[in-house]
């Protein structure tokens, strides 16, 4: 568990938690669900699909309340936090169903509130009941920033420079490391030099995210998603190679002050105002992108997921903990884009994800929280087709590759369908980490969202999904019992 830096902030967080938990227990049952994930993992699509299926009362067989016919109605209502942007569900749903394009990525925190009416099956008072589901969608890079709260500038600099010097990153880090070598931490304070150093570091972070290690994240997360903080001094610093104590009026002193300002003015408020209040958490992971990038990217992903769980305030909730120190008591890791594989490989994808989070899962379960994994597709973009090739039956997936996607030299126009044999994951998940799947040997083109037929009133029908209902049962099923 991360420590807030001051007694006042701890007291304020406890008071807010007490007020919210009291309301939950005595007035309005509420569950606060955090949705996050690393770059391009499908956070926005997951949230939009969740709202679509619940508000449309579409069949969700693995969600018991739905399967048993106990869901009566779900509707969007005004969210509780007026200072948090609303998740633009309508815009994202229109992009998926009308334009057949994937929504823009999550680059800031946003929120929705769903009011779910259902029939309570058990408990001290069976019958009609209502649950508020507050969905908090935020970039996974911000979650990894929480580890900075307990780090010093010197320790962060040393760790970040060492990571940049690893063989897998040396090429993209070379321009920034060249700038770093010409900087003396004890040289006089100079704003122009600080800005140039920060810009070079941000260019390196962008290159890491765009390259084969796109699954990796190196804090500060706001450097690539600044929002309204763009250009502020709190986002204008960089690591330095420190060999001696830092003088307050030096370049190193300036960088250290801004590092501490980033922690106190950016990271800590996120922890206090949003993250500490989350009851349930889903972390979406693009495991297939890491597999396609090779064993080094998978190792990077394993480390990132371990840091994600280290950042969570986990544990079993009791009456007292819910009142004074609420914890995240259920965490689900979801391997997304399962529709890019034939269903025969879905269990292998799930097994690989479980292997990547095995260490963290043991710690989490020891603290009393429940951890689950699932291979899912929030919106299924493909269907499965058997294709004969050379007398051999191939398990393929068929869909509409996006315009510009290239497969075996063919460039697609965004309208033509294609059946793709993606390959298969090894039966033994450890083999993937050992390099049994060479980088680029699997085929994972980017498909457009599926065509969704309209009903008699011109409304879009149900978006197809894979195991979204299983994820919902794990995250909120017990609160709908």
Q: Give the pLDDT of residue 389.
A: 80
Q: Give the pLDDT of residue 270.
A: 85
**Mean per-residue pLDDT, 8-21:** 51
Q: Give the pLDDT of residue 1.
A: 41
For residues 239 and 157, is the Cβ–Cβ distance under 8 A?
Answer: yes
Exposure string for 119-129, b = 16+ CB within 10 A, e = fewer = ebeeeeeeeeb
Report pLDDT digits (tens) over 361-385. 887 777 788 899 999 999 999 999 9
Q: Give the pLDDT of residue 448.
A: 97
Rounded alpha-carbon distances, angstroms, from residue 19 to 83, 289, 326, 357:
18, 42, 11, 34
Rounded alpha-carbon distances, angstroms, from residue 265 to 152, 236, 269, 400, 476:
16, 13, 6, 45, 33
Report pLDDT digits (tens) over 448-466. 999 998 877 778 889 999 9
For residues 479 and 29, is the Cβ–Cβ distance under 8 A?
Answer: yes
Burial of 107 (0-12, 13-18, 19+ CB in 10 A): middle
Q: How confident is the model at residue 217 (pLDDT cuts 50, 70, 90)?
A: low
Non-local CB neighbours of 77 within 8 Å, separated by 6+ positions: 113, 114, 115, 132
For residues 290 and 298, is the Cβ–Cβ distance under 8 A?
Answer: yes
Instruction: Determine which of 9-23, 88-102, 190-204 has the lowest per-residue pLDDT on average.
Output: 9-23
Task: Report which DSSP code applies to 335.
Answer: E
392/388 Cα distance (integer angstroms)? 5
440 φψ region: left (φ > 0), alpha (ψ -120 to 50), beta (else): left
Task: End-to-end CA distance of the chain: give it in Å, rounded.
Answer: 30
Report pLDDT digits (tens) over 65-111. 999 999 999 999 999 999 899 999 999 999 999 999 999 887 789 99
Domain boundary assignment for the chain:
7-138+274-380+467-480, 147-268
Q: Please say whether the structural domain 7-138+274-380+467-480 has been given the CATH code 3.40.50.720.
A: no
Q: Give the pLDDT of residue 299.
A: 84
pLDDT at 7 > cutoff 50:
no
For residues 336 and 311, is the Cβ–Cβ distance under 8 A?
Answer: no
What is the value of pTM for the model shown? 0.87
């Amino acid at each position: 568990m991360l420590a807030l830096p001051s007694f006042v902030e701890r007291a304020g967080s406890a008071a807010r938690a007490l007020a919210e938990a009291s309301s939950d227990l005595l007035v309005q049952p509420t569950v606060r669900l955090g949705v996050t994930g690393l770059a391009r993992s499908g956070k926005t699509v997951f949230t939009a699909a969740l709202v679509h299926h619940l508000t449309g009362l579409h069949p969700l067989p693995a969600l018991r309340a739905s399967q048993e016919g106990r869901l009566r109605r779900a509707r969007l209502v005004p969210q509780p936090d007026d200072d948090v942007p609303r998740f633009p569900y309508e815009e994202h749903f229109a992009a998926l169903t009308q334009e057949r394009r994937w929504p823009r990525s999550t680059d800031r925190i946003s929120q929705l509130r769903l009011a779910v009416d259902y029939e309570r099956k058990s408990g001290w008072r069976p019958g009609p009941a209502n649950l508020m589901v507050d969905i908090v969608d935020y970039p996974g890079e911000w979650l990894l920033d929480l580890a900075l709260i307990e780090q010093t500038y010197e320790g962060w600099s040393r760790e970040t420079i060492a990571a940049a010097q690893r063989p897998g990153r040396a090429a993209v880090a070379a321009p920034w490391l060249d700038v770093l070598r010409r900087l003396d931490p004890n040289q006089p304070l100079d704003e122009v030099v600080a800005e140039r150093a920060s810009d070079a570091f941000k260019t390196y972070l962008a290159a890491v995210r765009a390259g084969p290690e796109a699954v990796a994240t190196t804090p500060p997360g706001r450097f690539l998603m600044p929002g309204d903080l763009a250009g502020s001094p709190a986002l204008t610093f960089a690591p330095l190679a420190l060999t001696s104590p830092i003088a307050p009026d030096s370049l190193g002193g300036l960088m250290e002050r801004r590092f501490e300002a980033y922690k106190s003015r950016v990271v800590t408020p996120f922890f206090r105002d949003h993250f500490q209040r989350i009851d349930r958490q889903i972390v979406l992971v693009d495991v297939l992108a890491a597999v396609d990038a090779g064993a080094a990217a998978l190792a990077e992903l394993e480390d990132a997921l371990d840091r994600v769980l280290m950042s969570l305030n986990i544990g079993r909730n009791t009456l007292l903990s819910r009142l004074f120190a609420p914890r995240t008591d259920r965490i689900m890791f979801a391997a997304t884009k399962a529709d890019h594989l034939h269903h025969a490989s879905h269990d292998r994808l799930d097994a690989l994800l479980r292997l990547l989070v095995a260490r963290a899962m043991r710690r989490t379960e020891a603290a009393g929280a429940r951890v689950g994994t699932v291979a899912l597709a929030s919106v299924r973009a493909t269907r499965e087709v058997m294709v004969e090739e050379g007398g051999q039956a191939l398990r393929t997936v068929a869909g509409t590759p996006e315009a510009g996607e290239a497969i075996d030299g063919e460039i697609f126009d965004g309208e033509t369908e294609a059946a793709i044999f993606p390959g298969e994951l090894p039966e033994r998940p450890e083999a993937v980490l050992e390099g049994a799947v060479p980088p680029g040997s699997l085929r994972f083109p980017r498909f457009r969202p599926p065509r969704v037929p309209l009903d008699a009133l011109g409304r879009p029908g149900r978006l197809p999904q894979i195991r979204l209902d299983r994820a919902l049962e794990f995250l909120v099923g017990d609160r709908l019992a």
